Amino acid sequence: MKIILISDIHGSMHYMEKAMAVIDKEQPDRILMIGDALYHGPRNPLPKGYAPSEVALSLNQYKDKVIAVRGNCDSEVDQMLITYPMMADYTILFINGRKWFVTHGHVYSPEQLPELSRGDVFVSGHTHIPVAEDRDGISILNPGSIALPKGGYANSYGIVERDMFRIKDFEGNVIKKLAL
C-alpha cells in the first residue's frame, strides 16, 4: 500500500498544485490529510498563492482516497467546502498489521502521546517540522508542511511505501526516512 501524507496546506494553492503533481505521479492508495487545510491561522503569514476555496476544490478531487483529521486552524465552516469528513481530532488506522494513530498534533503530540504500544505508529503535523524517528518502539512521523515549513526545512510531504516512510521536498529529495 502506498500512502501520501500532507499537512499544513494553510490555503496555499501554489503548494497544493505541487502536492497534486506528486499525487498524480505517485498514484497513492490513500492520502492522509493531517489538518490545517484551508485557513492560514492568526499566527501564520499568508502563504504563497492563498486561495482556500481553490484548495478545497482541489482536495475534493481526491475525496475517495482522503482520510483526514482536523487541525487547529480548521473549523466547521470548512466542512461546507470539503466533501470528505475532516472534523475528527484523530483517526485510528490499521496498516500492515500495525496501529496508526493519526492526529494534527495540537491535542495529542509526540510530547503528549495517546495510549500506544511498541510497534504502533503516531502521525501528526502542526509543528511544520519533519520528523521520522523511533521512540521506544513507537514510530513518530510528521511530514512537515507543504506551504509554511519551519526550522529551516524545505516544503515537504511524506510517503509510505511498503515498510518505509520518507519525507521528501518537491524536487524529490529525501529529507528524512524511517523503516517501519
Residue 73 exposed, middle or buried by CB count within 10 Å (0-12, 13-18, 19+): buried
4, three cell numbers: 501520501
* Mean pLDDT computed over 23-38: 97
% the chain with pLDDT above 70: 100
Question: What rounded mean pLDDT belongs to the chain?
Answer: 96
Is the predicted pLDDT of residue 107 greater than 90, yes or no? yes
Confidence at residue 43, expressed as pLDDT on a 0 to 100 scale: 83
27, three cell numbers: 498514484
User: Which residues, 6 or more positions from 172, have their beta carbon under 8 angstroms from its beta carbon?
Assistant: none
> Confidence class of residue 42 from pLDDT cuts 50, 70 and 90?
confident
Full-model pTM: 0.96
User: Which residues, 6 or more positions from 88, have their beta carbon under 8 angstroms from its beta carbon?
Assistant: 68, 69, 70
Grid coordinates 516544503 are at which residue?
A: 155
Counted domains in the chain: 1
User: Which structural domain range is residue 172 located in?
Assistant: 2-179
CATH of the domain at 61: 3.60.21.10
% the chain with pLDDT above 90: 94
Is the predicted pLDDT of residue 40 greater than 90, yes or no? no
> Confidence class of residue 86 from pLDDT cuts 50, 70 and 90?
very high
Helical segments of 4-125, H only? 13-26, 52-60
Is the predicted pLDDT of residue 45 greater than 90, yes or no? no
Grid coordinates 482520510 are at which residue?
A: 67
* Mean pLDDT computed over 118-144: 98
